[in-house]
């Protein structure tokens, strides 16, 4: 019997999309099908102008256990070229998530391991339930967390990444909060739903185009020196925003003491 679709998308309310890792019987572990479905979901959502917040969550007791054992076994039987193609599919999926124009929020119950931590790091924000556990366990298998590394290193920094990557140390929500992998710890899954509601309120007040531009802005200026070229570029960007329809509407709404047109009532 075929396994049900490993990923589902639901819309709790207009403008809010939830992407759900839906393999609870396998602790939402990655395999080829889940990676393909996630890539398709993120690619589709990127083109949905009406969606303003994308929430990533897992069904069942755990957010994501990392790689599926059967998938890993199949990988081990392939040559290097096949393994590279397989790994590139995972890297492409993570890039699709990190590149979404909408705000993103990851909800973590139970814990996350390996690639599951990559999903967390590729989102803007992550919130975890108290007691969740984490580990970059790849070195125990003679592997490295290569495909997820750009997002994790950006989230937690080089020194912390070297320690956690090279020693496969299990860590808890306290350390994840300290190193920036998560931004809040909640008592239970009701707390995760409350985090969605709080984020949704913030999203409603933000201009969708400005959100997308702000996300791209971070990628474009990260690590660059503020030389004349960068100063000129950032000045051009804010000028375009000020003179554009969202900037004009935002200022007019502020002066008129009313909600801007994009605010959801």
Render pLDDT for 125-154 as a digit per residue (tens, 0 to 9): 999 999 999 999 999 999 999 999 999 999
Closest alpha carbon to 19 in 36, 4, 7: 7
Q: Return the ∠ at Cα 97 (arms to 91 and 98), rounded to 5°.
A: 85
The pairing of beta strand 53-58 with beta strand 111-113: unpaired
Residue 264's pLDDT is 65
Indicate whether 102 and 217 sit together in one domain: no
Q: Is residue 264 situated within a structural domain?
A: no
**What's the pLDDT at 47?**
97
187-207 per-position pLDDT tens digit: 999 999 999 999 999 999 999
- Counting the structural domains of the chain, the total is 2
pLDDT in tens, 223-239: 999 999 999 999 999 99
Q: Between the CA of residue 28 and those of 6, 101, 204, 250, what are the distances in Å? A: 8, 25, 30, 42
**pTM score, whole prediction:** 0.95
Q: Are 233 and 217 in contact (CB under 8 A)?
A: no
Dist. CA 111–CA 128, nearest whole Å? 8
Distances in whole angstroms, Cα of residue 72 to Cα of each of 32, 46, 60: 10, 30, 22
Q: According to the model, what pLDDT value does residue 75 have?
A: 84
Q: pLDDT value at position 2?
A: 66
Instruction: Give the CATH number, domain containing residue 183.
Output: 3.90.226.10
Residue ranges in the chain modelled with pLDDT below 50: none
User: In the listed set 186, 203, 220, which residue is the last one of a domain according to the structure?
Assistant: 203
pLDDT at site 3: 76
146-163 residue pLDDT tens: 999 999 999 999 999 999
Together in a domain, 162 and 244:
no
Domain check: are 177 and 251 in the same one? no
Burial of 137 (0-12, 13-18, 19+ CB in 10 A): middle
**230: domain range?**
207-256
Residue 176 shares a structural domain with residue 163: yes
Both tokens of 32, joined, read: 């080829």
Are residues 135 and 215 both part of a single domain?
no
Are residues 177 and 52 part of one domain? yes
- 114 and 12, same structural domain? yes
Cβ neighbours around 221 below 10 Å, total: 14
């Amino acid at each position: 019997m075929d396994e049900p679709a490993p990923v589902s998308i639901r819309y709790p309310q207009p403008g809010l999309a939830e992407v759900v890792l839906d393999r609870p019987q396998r602790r939402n572990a990655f395999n080829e099908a889940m990676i393909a479905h996630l890539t398709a979901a993120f690619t589709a959502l990127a083109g949905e102008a009406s969606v303003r917040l994308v929430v990533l969550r897992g069904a069942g007791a755990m957010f994501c256990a990392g790689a599926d054992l059967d998938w890993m076994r199949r990988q081990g039987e392939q040559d290097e070229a096949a393994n590279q193609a397989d790994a590139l599919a995972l890297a492409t999926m993570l890039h699709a998530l990190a590149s979404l124009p909408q705000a993103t929020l990851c909800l973590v119950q139970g814990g996350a391991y390996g690639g599951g931590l990559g999903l967390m790091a590729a989102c803007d924000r992550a919130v975890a339930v108290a007691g969740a556990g984490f580990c970059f366990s790849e070195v125990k298998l003679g592997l490295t967390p290569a495909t997820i590394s750009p997002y994790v290193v950006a989230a937690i920094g080089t020194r912390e990444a070297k320690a956690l990557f090279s020693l496969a140390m299990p860590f808890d929500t306290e350390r994840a909060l300290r190193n920036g992998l998560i931004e809040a710890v909640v008592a239970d899954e009701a707390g995760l739903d409350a985090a969605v509601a709080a984020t949704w309120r913030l999203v409603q007040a933000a201009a969708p185009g400005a959100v997308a531009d702000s996300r791209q802005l971070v990628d474009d200026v990260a690590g660059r020196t503020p030389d004349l070229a960068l100063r000129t570029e950032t000045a051009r960007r804010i000028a375009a925003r000020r003179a554009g329809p969202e900037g004009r509407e935002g200022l007019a709404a502020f002066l008129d003491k009313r909600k801007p047109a994009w605010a959801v009532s």
